[in-house]
Chains A and B, each alone.
Chain A
Amino acid sequence: MSLHATDYALYTGCIIPLRYPDIENSIRETMSLLGVNVYDMLGAGCCPPGGAFWSVEEMSGLVQSARNLSIAESMSKDVMAVCNGCFCYLKNSNMLLKSDQEKREKVNTVLNKIGRKYQGTISVYHLVEVLHDHIGIEKIKQSTKIKLDGAKAAVHYGCHLLRPSDHLMAENPEKPHKLDALVEALGMESVYYPKKLSCCGAGGGMRGNNPDVTLRILEKKLMNIKYSEPDCIVTACPFCFLQFDLGQKGLRDRGEDFCIPVFYYNQLLGLSMGLPKKRIASLSETPRDGFIKKFYGVD
């Protein structure tokens, strides 16, 4: 269990604070209404991701992750990651550094140059774990005012919340249920669709390296999602969110018909709590206003 189940160092990463700050608002405001305090990690940098630094040299990824972890350590708080990639690489680094003394010493020689130190005193959690395991479904149900009865959601877990499961241990990698349970707590139905656990096609540098392939993989994913005719897609990763949001626009620009509203989980949770759309769910390229009007009755 965590250091303090109601206090977390909020690691926002890059995409949420700089491309979807409405998601950041939704996280801050819903957590506060659930009685959880989140604290800013001053000066936190990129996690960094697997696609760049980890792909060329382990140490270059480790030192940056360790710097971020050391910021949370200095606050004596566990980290709450709100992006799958951040969660995967920060948690992986934390485990590596806790268990490998040689690596820890090497990392600390580097961190010493900037007056920081990694000690191995905290844990890293994903927001889905905090919501499901630490706060609990009942409390979330009680916190909402508007029930999404009749709405159907296609839940997308994303790779780096599930895998590699022996490091992340957040979910059953072949039969995850936490995000489904969280979605159903809002009154929605989480629908089955084929290949639910497959990749959205954005990671590892793919979105930048090969726009055609990234859209082709996304298209396959969306065809499977469409099979269940959902009213929206729900995820708890901003990079998957971005891929579904901008990627559907990319496919529309090529003349294809993909326009399923996409939400980060806390945006729906916040709307269900009665929080204003402008602050928590107003930035997207794939329109969501129709969904919000139909199920929440707000313009």
Chain B
Amino acid sequence: MKIVLNNTNKELVNKVIEYGGKRVYECFQCGMCASGCPVASDTDHKIKRTMHQVLLGLDEQILDKKAIWLCTTCFMCLERCPQNAGPTEVVFALRRISAEKGIIPEAQIEVANNIYHLGHAVTVQKGIKLREKVDAPPLTTAGANKKYIHEIQKIVDSTHAGLLLKIRKDWKPKGDDVIACD
């Protein structure tokens, strides 16, 4: 592959900066980020390479591969980066760009729909049964009352998340498994 450095696609890096990866230009490719990354050796998500690809404008290589969705958001790279280039923030920015193109994994869609319809990332009925089993006091959080869930729906509807996370009005939870969270 041939990369012409003085003619790179600046669109990607500008968008990454706009979407939160403000210090991406600081990266000097030392590799500290990848050395502490829990997924680097087991997945296609190579954070040092991703930083470089952003600077080189290789958006297709990043977005098509979907590897950015394998980041656990552990912030180890961001914590240890000697340049404070904020690699985790770059991952978040790339996810936002990816979501705008409609590329987003099922787990994210599922958990967002849970939150939108139930007020919580996980299903509520199973939780209420478990609460009874251990004599926990009645649930008082959003999941306990439709009026709170309507509040959450109203504020989410004021953002673009409904579209980006493919929130469906006729949605039914797939099951009681905890699929994704922080």
Contact = CB atoms under 8 A, between A and B. Distances in A.
**B partners with A:** yes
Interface of A: 12, 14-15, 17-22, 24-25, 28, 40-60, 63-64, 67, 83-86, 88-89, 110-111, 113-114, 116, 159-160, 162-165, 173, 197-199, 201-210, 213, 216-217, 220, 239, 242, 246, 278-280, 282-283
Given A56-B165, A85-B182, A111 B155 contact: yes
B92 A160 contact: no
Contacts of B136: 17, 21-22, 24-25, 279
B96 A56 contact: yes
Given A18-B122, A18-B143, A48 B115 contact: yes
A279 B141 contact: no
B78 A46 contact: no
Contacts of B108: 51-52, 55-56, 205, 208-209
B151 A199 contact: no
Nearest to B125: A18
Contact of A17 (B78, B131, B133, B178): B131
Contact of B142 (A22, A45, A204): A45
A21 B124 CA distance: 12
Interface residues of B, number: 72
A45 B181 contact: no
Contact of B76 (A60, A199, A217, A246): A199
A205 B105 contact: yes
B178 A45 contact: no
B50 interface: no
A216 B72 CA distance: 13
Contacts of B148: 42-43, 45
Contact of B152 (A64, A83, A202): A64
B43 A209 contact: no
Contacts of A246: 178
B134 A282 contact: yes
B144 to A, nearest CB: 8
A203 B73 contact: yes
B75 A159 contact: yes
